[in-house]
Amino acid sequence: MKLFMLFILLITTMDAIDLKKYDAQIQKLSDEEKYVIINKGTQAPYTGKYTEEKTNGVYVCKLCGNPLYKSSDKFDSHCGWPSFDDAIDGAVKRVRDADGRRVEIVCAKCGAHLGHVFEGEGFTPKNTRHCVNSISLKLEPKPHAKDTNLSYAYFAGGCFWGVEYYLQKLDGVKEVISGFMGGHVKNPSYYEVVRSDTGHLETVEVIYDKNKISYEKIAKTFFEIHDPTQTNGQGPDIGKQYLSAVFVNNEKERDTIKKLISQLEQNGFRVATKILDKSDFYEADEGHQDYYDKKGAKPYCHGYVKRF
C-alpha cells in the first residue's frame, strides 16, 4: 500500500512539473520549498513573507520566474496567506484537487504548486480568492509612478540575518531583503555560497523612501551595527561570504561611503569595508527572510555600537 501511494505521489508530481527541464532550479530549492512547490504541501499560516506585503510589483513563480500576480490584485483576507482576486491572464492553471473538493492552482508554465482558489466569499467585487503560499512566489518590486521616492541600497556585513534585523527597523526603510551579490554564479543557492567559492557576499537589499531617510543615515547605521574592522568575516562567522562591503549604485553613494570611512578612521578605526560596484542581486530563499523576527530572537553577531 505504501509503495502504491508513493507511486501515485510520484506520478502526480511528474505530471505537474517537467522535472528534467527544471532540475537545476529544483536543486536550489530548500526542503521547505520543495515540500510546497513540488509535493503540493501547505506553508503554515501567518509565516510567509508576503502575507502582509504591500510593496508594488509583480509576483513571479519561485521555480520558473513566470509572472503570476500583480500587487494591485492583492488584498488582505485575514486568512494567513497572500490573497489575490485575480491572476495575470494565462499565468495560473486551475486543477481539481486530489481531495475532490477544492481547486488547486499551479503555475501554467511549469506546474509548480501555488495554493488553492476559492469563489463566492465576497471579499472583493471579483468574488475570487487565490490563496497562495508565499514560499511559491518571488516579488519583483516595481514602484508606482507616485512612489519615485523609493530607492535601493546594498550592504554586506556578515550574516545577512543580523544586518536585515537592524536596518529594517529604521524609520523610512520600507523593506530589507536578504540575498547575495558580487559573485560569478547566476542564481546561487545558500548552500552554494556557503560551501563553494561562488564569490558572493551575504548582502541585504534595502528599499527605502528617500524623503524619509537618507542614504547616508542608512549607511551610517550599517557601520554601527557590525564591526567594519574585522577582515575575515563577522564575529564567529568566518569566510569570504561574510566580509564587510558596500555595493554602490553611483558615484554619489561612493563618495558618501568614502566620507563615512574617513570619519571612522579619524576616530581610530581601521576599516576593512570594501566599496564595490553594484552587480546582480539574488534573493535568498524564504527561510532566510525575516529570520530573527520569525524566531523571536535577536542577532548573535550583530549589535549597535556608536562609532561616529
107 is catalytic: no
Q: Enter the DSSP assignment of 186.
A: S
Residue 79 designated active-site: no
Say which amino acid occupies 75. Answer: F
Grid coordinates belonging to 178: 536578504
Q: Beta strand 233-234 with 237-238: parallel, antiparallel or unpaired? A: antiparallel
Do 160 and 201 meet the contact criterion of CB atoms below 8 Å apart? no
The residue type of 241 is: Q
Q: Which of 143, 198, 160 is nearest to 285 (CA)?
A: 160
CA distance 143 to 94: 30
Using a 10 angstrom Cβ sphere, with 0-12 exposed, 13-18 middle and 19 or more buried, the burial of residue 204 is buried
> Active-site residue among 61, 107, 159, 301?
159
The HSE-up count of residue 149 (CA atoms within 13 Å, CB side) is 12
Catalytic residue among 61, 107, 110, 131: 131
Q: Which one-letter amino acid corresponds to residue 157?
A: G
Quick check: 143 and 207 in contact, CB under 8 A?
no
* Residue listed under C-alpha cell 540575518: 161
Name the one residue in this structure whose C-alpha cell is 541585504: 204
Q: Do 112 and 18 form a contact (C-beta atoms < 8 A)? A: no
What is the Cα–Cα distance from 202 to 59, expressed in whole angstroms?
Answer: 23
Contact between residue 130 and residue 84 where contact means Cβ atoms under 8 Å apart: yes
**244-248/274-277 β-pairing:** parallel
Catalogue the active-site residues. Answer: 131, 159
